[in-house]
Each structure stands twice: as structure tokens, then as C-alpha cells.
Chains A and B, each alone.
Chain A
Amino acid sequence: NAGVTQTPKFQVLKTGQSMTLQCAQDMNHNSMYWYRQDPGMGLRLIYYSASEGTTDKGEVPNGYNVSRLNKREFSLRLESAAPSQTSVYFCASSEWDRVSYEQYFGPGTRLTVT
């Protein structure tokens, strides 16, 4: 099992450009998440999807959109990138494991917006 995979690993964008970050999981999890990681601020939830066909805003959704394409895939789109969106982006998935929900993380995408 690959677990949670993300593409691309690195990306440099100019202000105003758009891009989509891809995430897929092969663990048959219902819930998927997008976070951003910034120094001194920890991980902040951008959007999440509790199940296929549903998405909800997290703590910092402005400037982003998401699509839960199917149970496996959850993409994050930046329509018009801004320097403030320079960050490391993590995708995660989770499922109840009879004790609690453990989140499994992807390797991250390092995005720089100039």
C-alpha cells in the first residue's frame, strides 16, 4: 500500500497563476483533509471531506477550493496564487480504528509563490 500520495512534491508559481494539488489514498478511508504547515503556526486545516461527495471549510479556506473526486482522491486548487500561500501542503486521510481516528499523512507539497 502506498498510503497517501501527493503530487507534485515541489512547485513554484508566479502571483496570479493557478494550480491543483493532487492527493490520493488507497486505504479506503472516508475522511480526507488538506492542511498547510507554516513555521511557528503548526498545521492549519484548509478543507476537509468527511465522505465522498461532501466537503467543508476548515480554519483557513480563503483562496482555496477543493474537489472530492471519488473516495480515493481529494484535490486542492489555488485559483489565483498569492505570496501568502507559500507553504508546505499536506493531505491526510482517516478512518475509525476501534479506538479513535488516526490521521495518515502524505509526504507534502512545498509551494513557493513569487
Chain B
Amino acid sequence: AQRVTQPEKLLSVFKGAPVELKCNYSYSGSPELFWYVQYSRQRLQLLLRHISRESIKGFTADLNKGETSFHLKKPFAQEEDSAMYYCALHQGAQKLVFGQGTRLTINP
């Protein structure tokens, strides 16, 4: 079964510290993975996708097929990074399966 697991419901770090939000997936084919973010009082929106190999707002995520992971990283956290983050897997037919989400809080 296709599944996305985000093991941390809550993550709290200090401003300026490195951040890593974990995401593991199970998928038999070639995975297509995304990170979506929901800032307070804003809509859920795409942050980045592995296929683009991009860095958005200082965040990067590398697909590790051996470990079936797609962890989201940022070297120096900022207060505006506080948000709910969802890892998502494209499961075909234009559908996504989402992880449980991680609420990230950046402390000043």
C-alpha cells in the first residue's frame, strides 16, 4: 500500500538552528514526492517537489530511494518558518496521499 509517514507531530527548534522534518514513504514504483505547507490563516500550498530539485525559502529535500525518505531540511530556521508541513506522494491518477503532518514551531 502507498503510504506516507511523518513521525513527528510536533517539532520545536530555536531561530537560527537547523531544521529537519522527516518523511518516509512506501511505494512500489518510481515515487514523485512533494512538501506542502500551511502557514497560520493561509491556504495549504506547495513548498517544493523532488522532481524540480529546487530550494524554496532556504528549504531543500532530497529523495533517498534506499531509505525511502524525503526529509525536508533548512540550515538556519527563521520565525516565519513556523507552520504545518505535509509530505505528499503522487499515487497515480493525479491523486496525492498525504502524511499526518508536522507542526513546526520556531522559538525566538
- Chain A residues near B (Cβ < 8 Å): 4, 31, 33, 35, 40-45, 48, 50, 56, 58-59, 90, 92, 94, 99-108
10 A-B pairs in the complex with CB atoms less than 8 angstroms apart: A4-B43, A33-B95, A40-B100, A42-B4, A42-B101, A43-B44, A43-B98, A94-B94, A101-B90, A102-B46
Interface size class of B (residues with CB under 8 A): 20 to 34
Q: Which A-chain residue is minimally distant from B33 (CB atoms)?
A: A100
Does B13 touch A at the CB level, under 8 Å? no
- Chain B residues near A (Cβ < 8 Å): 4, 6, 9, 32, 34, 36, 43-46, 49, 51-52, 86, 90, 93-101
Given known A50-B93, A103-B96, contact A40–B86 (CB-CB < 8 A)? no
* Minimal beta-carbon separation of A38 from chain B (angstroms): 10
Q: Is the interface of B mostly helix, strand, loop or mixed?
A: mixed
Q: Are A107 and B43 in contact (CB under 8 A)?
A: yes
Cα(A94)–Cα(B36), bound, Å: 14
Q: Are A100 and B49 in contact (CB under 8 A)?
A: yes
Q: Are B98 and A50 in contact (CB under 8 A)?
A: no
